[in-house]
Amino acid sequence: MSKILVVAELQDGKVRKATHSAITFARQAGAPFSILAIGAGAQGAAASVTGFGAEKVLVCDDASLVGPICERFAPTIAQAAKAGGFDVVVVTASSFGKDVAPRVAAKLGAGYAPDISGVKAEGDKLVFRRPVFAGNAYATCEITTALKVVSVRQSELAAAEPSGGASPVESVALAAKDAAEGRIEFVGLEAAKSERPDLGEARVIVAGGRALKEQFAGVLDPLANLLGAAVGASRAACDAGYAPAELQVGQTGRVVAPQLYFAIGISGAIQHLAGMKGSKTIVAVNKDADAPIFQVADYGLVADLFQAVPELVTELKKAQG
């Protein structure tokens, strides 16, 4: 039976909710697993994941582990995997996960499978399910190396809930610097601060397309504020400069699966659908009745968005009293 190491992703000294999808993967595999909390402030963050049924919660807390510099994290993750006798290392397919996973795989001489959406055990082997052809089909694959590294899509695996109990916490050593880390200098991180939830973790997303033009924020922000939603955008809206690149949802942007997704002025190109069609409920507003977005929408409104969205905001305010 495989033994799995789940790498927890930290932000501001807390374990990100995205990590819970990696824990779900470990549970689906039906194998014993441990969780590695690594980064500055990991000791405090570890307490939040002791109730998920892990055999152990491993902690590497060091002030040098700051910033999204994966050359610093990969040696310690690989060292912890070797020392603990783990067969599988799993991370969430976030920006951090996609950066660190191939580096860990290279250090372990392990095969790597990205963007996994499911796993099942068949005897002594694990079979992975992953999307192909922009999410229009799924394929199964195996990793034939003794050690395996995978990244899992948060949008495909539900966030794990605590199962009770309290896993023991153990410290692991920080690995020695390697050549790659020696060539990297962390200068600083400039990140936009927002009271809105992160796109990847939001329960509600209000997304807009190029049709909004310069009124992108003016039309979408009131609805997003009212619903406590994150704001997303199509690639066309980002390329045109109406929305910042970090809001892009799609094959080349963020892949999301909220409980509720508003697609406002978005035609529904296949690249965008690949990033959001896993949403539980999709509401589309577009003046083109033949727009492809209506083929995946649960609710569709053929209307002028500049009139329909403000009316929706007004009615929602009435409903909220």
**Local confidence pLDDT in tens for the 321 residues of the chain:** 689 999 999 988 899 988 999 999 999 999 999 999 999 999 999 999 999 999 999 999 998 888 778 999 999 999 999 999 999 999 999 889 999 999 999 999 999 999 999 999 988 899 999 988 877 889 999 999 999 999 999 888 888 999 888 899 999 999 998 888 888 888 877 766 677 888 888 999 999 999 999 999 999 999 999 999 999 999 999 999 999 999 999 988 998 999 999 999 999 999 999 999 889 999 999 999 999 999 999 999 999 999 999 999 999 999 887
DSSP character at residue 25: H
Instruction: State the alpha helices, DSSP H only, in 13-69.
Output: 19-29, 42-45
Whole-prediction pTM: 0.83
Domain-embedded: residue 188: no
Residues 124 and 220 occupy one common structural domain: no
Bridge partners for 302 per DSSP: 286
Asked whether residue 167 falls in the same domain as residue 102, the answer is yes
Residue 191 covered by a domain: no
The DSSP secondary-structure symbol of 31 reads: S
Taking CA atoms, 87 is separated from 3, 118, 243, in Å, by 5, 17, 42
User: Do 167 and 60 fall within a single domain?
Assistant: yes
The angle at the Cα of 292, spanning 286 to 294, to the nearest 5 degrees, equals: 60
Q: Tell me: do 16 and 157 sit in the same domain.
A: yes
In a domain, 88, yes or no: yes
Domain identity same for 20 and 125: yes
The CA distance from 60 to 75, in Å, is 12
- Rounded to whole angstroms, how far apart are CA atoms 12 and 5? 22
Nearest to 99 by CA among 121, 127, 77, 132: 77
Residues 151, 12 share a domain: yes
pLDDT at site 182: 80
DSSP string covering 249-296, please? BSTTSB----SEEEEES----HHHHHHHTT-SEEEEEES-TT-GGGGT
For the domain that residue 115 is a member of, what is the CATH number? 3.40.50.620
Residues 177 and 243 in one domain: no
> Rounded to an integer, what distance in angstroms lies between the CA atom of residue 221 and that of residue 217?
5
Chain mean pLDDT for the chain: 92
Whole-angstrom distance, CA of residue 190 vs CA of residue 171: 30
3-class secondary-structure state, position 169: strand
Q: Tell me, what CATH number does 280's domain have?
A: 3.40.50.1220
pLDDT at position 301 is: 96
Whether residues 210 and 247 share a domain: the answer is: yes
Please tell me whether residues 31 and 118 are part of one structural domain: yes
Q: Do residues 61 and 43 make contact, with C-beta atoms less than 8 angstroms apart?
A: yes
Q: Where are the beta strands (DSSP E) in the chain?
A: 4-8, 10-11, 14-15, 33-38, 57-60, 88-92, 111-116, 118-122, 125-132, 137-141, 148-152, 169-171, 204-208, 230-233, 260-264, 281-286, 299-302
Which structural domain, as residue segments, surrounds residue 243? 204-319
- Euclidean distance between CA atoms 74 and 4, whole angstroms: 16
Amino acid 11: pLDDT: 85
Residues 35 and 96 in one domain: yes
Any domain includes 194: no
Alpha carbons 30 and 115: distance in angstroms, whole number: 19
Q: How many domains does the chain have?
A: 2
Neighbouring-strand partners of residue 143: none
Task: Please report how many Cα atoms fall inside a 13 Å half-sphere around the Cα of residue 40, on the Cβ side.
Answer: 10
Q: Are 160 and 92 in contact (CB under 8 A)?
A: no
Distance, CA of 58 to CA of 55 (rounded, Å):
10
* 98 lies in the same domain as 164: yes
- Measure the CA–CA gap between 157 and 179, rounded to whole angstroms: 36
